[in-house]
Amino acid sequence: MAARRKRKKSKTKRISFKRSSLRSTRRKKKRQSSRLGPSLIRILKILAVACIFVSVVACILVGIVVGFSFLERYVKKTSVVSEQTIRLELVDVPAWVNSQLKEKVYVAARGDGNDLSLVQQNIEREVVWLDEVTVQTTHDVLRIEGRWRKPVGLIKSGMSRFYVDAEQVVLDFVEMPRLPIVEITGLSPRRKTPPLGKVREGDDLAAAITILDRLDRMDKSDTPDKPLLYEIDRIDISNFNGRKNSKRPHIVLYAKDDTEIIWGAEVGFWQQHLESTDEQKLAKLYSYYKENGTLSGDAKYINLCDPQDDIPLPIDKY
């Protein structure tokens, strides 16, 4: 019996010892895990903060690089514009060319830096007033030269207005107080207005421009101090070639006070209608202008067509 009790006790002790050792092992693991948890969290937090910091720094660096690249482009562009503003020079500009037309050239020339070919192309594309453009550079000046298109006629189409030069090239409207530009009326509506810089076709327009060109030449030779063209308001070609009424004058000019100046057939066709020659018509008109000092007055109209008259005889308005 005593031996059995001893065995039971020893067995009980061994079981209790195993339980206690198992409990202690579990306690150690819990302690280790409890110690490891906060440390791991702290490490993860530090790593997260470090990642965020690195990302922020990277973004800042990228922003600085991008900002400097844009700033560099801006500085380059600004320096080119300011430099060209000083260095651009227009050569052989006619007296009638105003500041607005010059500014058109300057703006077009600034658009493509210092590349001469691009500057020339830009001016030719954007400034229809200047033809045969050449661009040259010296050590300190960018020289721009070309043939300026001088407007001779004004055409109104609806709400729009534009000019034509002696070659019938269409020019955009700019106020030109230094030039005696005559309005051309009665153009055939069949012809559509082309884009700026293109030719506006039409025999009627060509006939009007030819007469205006003749008057301009007479002004330069006979009346340079007081050009007759300043007294012409418009030229009407609505009956060109008698397309409305063969018995009515084909071309009529009007002075500022609406005095009619009957020209007749287009230049070069006077003999077909038994009219005065074109030279006689010009001589009659300028003789009357010099004698009276003006085209305005009491006359209802001035007839240049009759070949029997050396000097036109104005018909009284009243």
User: Taking the CB of residue 292, how many other CB atoms lie within 10 A of it?
Assistant: 13
Separation between Cα atoms, residue 317 and residue 168, nearest integer Å: 36
Q: Are residues 284 and 200 in the same domain?
A: yes
Kindly state whether residue 248 falls inside one of the protein's structural domains. Answer: yes
Q: Are residues 159 and 204 in the same domain?
A: yes
- The pLDDT, as a whole number, for residue 80 is 37
pTM reported for the whole predicted model: 0.69
- The pLDDT, as a whole number, for residue 190 is 84
Separation between Cα atoms, residue 9 and residue 2, nearest integer Å: 11
Domain, as residue range, for 236? 151-316
Provide the 3-class DSSP secondary structure of residue 81.
helix
Q: Are residues 250 and 114 in the same domain?
A: no
Give me the CATH number covering residue 100.
3.10.20
Helices (H) and strands (E) counted in the chain, each on its own, are 5, 12
Separation between Cα atoms, residue 229 and residue 255, nearest integer Å: 9
Separation between Cα atoms, residue 300 and residue 121, nearest integer Å: 52
Region class of 230: left (phi > 0), else alpha (psi between -120 and 50), else beta: alpha
**Ranges of the chain whose pLDDT falls below 70:** 1-86, 111-114, 309-318
**Bridge partners for 316 per DSSP:** 299
- The pLDDT, as a whole number, for residue 118 is 86
On whether the CB atoms of residues 162 and 193 are closer than 8 A, the answer is yes
Kindly state whether residue 40 falls inside one of the protein's structural domains. Answer: no
Give me the CATH number covering residue 303.
3.40.50
Provide the 3-class DSSP secondary structure of residue 142.
strand
Separation between Cα atoms, residue 221 and residue 78, nearest integer Å: 49
Q: Are residues 222 and 296 in the same domain?
A: yes
- The pLDDT, as a whole number, for residue 25 is 53
270: Cβ contacts below 8 Å, ≥ 6 apart: 264, 276, 277, 278, 281
Q: Are residues 173 and 221 in the same domain?
A: yes
On whether the CB atoms of residues 105 and 127 are closer than 8 A, the answer is yes
Q: Are residues 241 and 262 in the same domain?
A: yes
Q: Are residues 106 and 174 in the same domain?
A: no
Kindly state whether residue 103 falls inside one of the protein's structural domains. Answer: yes
Instruction: For helices 203-222 and 278-292, give the axis angle rounded to 10 degrees.
Output: 50
Strand pairing report for 142-148 and 130-137: antiparallel
Kindly state whether residue 77 falls inside one of the protein's structural domains. Answer: no
Last residue within a domain, chosen from 126, 148, 170: 148
Kindly state whether residue 57 falls inside one of the protein's structural domains. Answer: no
Q: How many domains are there within the chain?
A: 2
On whether the CB atoms of residues 74 and 157 are closer than 8 A, the answer is no
Per 3-state DSSP, what percentage of the chain is helix, strand, and coil (rounded to 5)?
50, 20, 30
Structure tokens at 237: 């070609």
The letter for the amino acid at 244 is K
Q: Are residues 169 and 238 in the same domain?
A: yes
DSSP one-letter string for 93-105: --TT--HHHHHHH
Q: Are residues 105 and 214 in the same domain?
A: no
Last residue within a domain, chosen from 111, 132, 148: 148
Q: Are residues 186 and 100 in the same domain?
A: no
Kindly state whether residue 75 falls inside one of the protein's structural domains. Answer: no
Q: Are residues 194 and 234 in the same domain?
A: yes
Kindly state whether residue 54 falls inside one of the protein's structural domains. Answer: no
Q: Are residues 236 and 247 in the same domain?
A: yes
Strand ranges of the sheet holding 160-165, from the earlier edge strand across to the other edge:
170-172, 160-165, 151-157, 182-185, 232-236, 251-255, 260-264, 299-303, 315-316
Kindly state whether residue 285 falls inside one of the protein's structural domains. Answer: yes
Residues in the chain: 318
Among 195, 210, 213, which Cα is nearest to 128's? 195
